[in-house]
Structure 1
């Protein structure tokens, strides 16, 4: 009976997050510089993209919302998994150097000649997929170096975190070096790319992100019991038959992989992987059977809400969503640091 109530509470939280995400998404569909009534949104959805409202919904807002849902879920799940296997509440793809590696890769591509142009005061990339490829390689290389060290030297979870911080600092230095040698337009293009912007994603990018995220999410759900055991410590996990080192390395790589794909397409968006899992832990506990899917919902809700705020707060000007998430994430980061110190 107690277990049924326990499960029902988690399911009700999931249902609440799902319904709230749907409501925020519908609100985001109808509001912006081009206002739409609920009836126009419904007609546009049923009409398949014909007419002015249909073009706005299907070509602009729906791909953006889909990207927000996918990227938010990706970053939140990656953060939850890293925090579990590395046993550190501050472990996220952002603090592990993945985002910094992507930023260096994109900056290097622009410095080496990836096309860019200035139009109406805005910088745009003529060949964005070259930048995306370099950004992905930079992001995944950060994790590859850390995991290689962990495999060869048997690094502890704490040492893996410190290695991630070191790699992040290295990539920040390399990005600064690339910016130093860039001309004005190249520098502007680098800064433009670094802003997290869901508006860059089209249906093609959304499909690639979904094709990467869904299988990895399935893997993490299958490994949910291993995560619960790993949180208790390596000795406990090994005593129940979990190959901790192997599962930790594979899961950290997969978390970095889905993050690298997302960051490569939409730029750097920080703190989602920190805020969403911890918010879920506060209301639903740390059981990874529920934490992983609930974190995905919470991350999707958080990023779509942040992007809606970014689009509307200074409309018709659109702020980069990374600015909004950073404003939310910095206080959360400080709170977790203070809380960790208070437990010592």
Structure 2
């Protein structure tokens, strides 16, 4: 959800005065201020870090790709939750990585399933989103986090913790990176919590891996653009980033309540703090048929199979995104259309497509 311009304009004149230097190559001394802002943002996310362990990136997706490029070799095994962030499989394919799906239940990824992979194979890394999980919106309990951290440390597996949605979650458990800082690479970003067009993120790495991540970023973009880093720095330091995050939280809660009021508490019994809703479909509905019917009526939803590591494990579920539509009346109309489809008898679900 794009935020209002509150708090933004007061920084533009100051930034413009620095444009000439920000358009040049940066020295280590120049980057210290940006790293310090990253340190502040990470602390806001619940993670403490030394400056030398922070790596600026061009948003979370670039950060994830940089991690995979830095630490995994062709043929290495990358684990992810059975339902996961869609680009992960594409990234793995580009890098010629093997992939494995770690089973989930209603409470998120199952630690015993992760342990079984470690026992039966040789995973190099485990990518997961413990907070507001993509796509299910589940937030992993502190007990499961502790168990996953323990298993990873015992088996020498690197945890890649994607926490770009973390700042939207109130009262979330401590991040894995805080529980197990020597085995976890933490991915933070301002794009989800502050503004989608602000493509700035920060990796927090174990000390022994920071150099490799810096080299990977250098290989992909040489340096994270100083101008956008400067924008992020000033928004973080003057408190505007925090204010905009709080605004996003309020909007997300409002829209979650809107979804539940229109689709019904039976369809959406639990609300998350984010901008997505995971909707298991009633018996008889197939996700592809439901999605097609919604699209015919002008509403686009994501099918569960879009997020499945293994197509055979794809649930008959859809994901609703309630962040991009700025006009709330249009959003309401879209939700009413989805609710109407949900109330229909399944259309052609018995047919083979």
**What TM bracket, shorter-length normalisation?**
under 0.3
TM-score, length-normalised on structure 1?
0.28
**Larger helix share, 1 or 2:** 1
**Larger strand share, 1 or 2:** 2
TM-score, length-normalised on structure 2?
0.27
Higher RCO (C-alpha 8 Å, min separation 6): 1
